[in-house]
Amino acid sequence: MAEIFGIAAGVAGFVSLLTQIISGIDTLREINAHANKAPAELSALLSELTVLKSLIDEVINRAPPNDDWYLQLCRSSIETVVIGLEKLKKRMNAWNQGTRKLKARKIFAFRHWKEDVEVLQRDIQVVKLDLLLCLLPTLNLNPSIQVARTSHIRSS
């Protein structure tokens, strides 16, 4: 019974993080829609975040049993992405408030953000891999593959 509550608590933490990811996606979509000079990296970042959202939904729906420590690891990785999104949103808001001319704002807004986006994209890749590994036991794979994954995790 305690195990069920542990899994439920682990998955519940994902829901609040998912809400923050969705908020970040919405903000970036709004920026992308209103900025004529938005770089291609913004569209790529939006795509990565959309895939991440789908994976988080899958983890919430398929809460794998006996992997509470791995759920904690995934949640920690997702929190890193949320922090990166918040940093990017703050930077964009500061640019929007600090620049008066609309044309200059659009050009300036994307000049120094590339490094933040690259770091965020790397963090998203890590989270996606973590979530895929978390979902692995719930997939109908060859049993020998599942046993190999379980024995590898236990030896770590």
CATH number of the domain where residue 43 is located: 1.20.120
Residue 81: per-residue pLDDT: 94
Is the separation of the CB atoms in 72 and 10 below 8 Å?
yes
Please give the pLDDT value at position 3: 45
* pTM score of the predicted model: 0.70
Taking the chain (156 residues) in consecutive chunks of 10 residues, what is each chunk's mean pLDDT? Answer: 46 82 86 71 88 90 71 89 89 60 55 80 94 80 55 52
Domain that holds residue 144: 2-155
Q: How many domains does the chain have?
A: 1
Tokens of 50: 């959309």
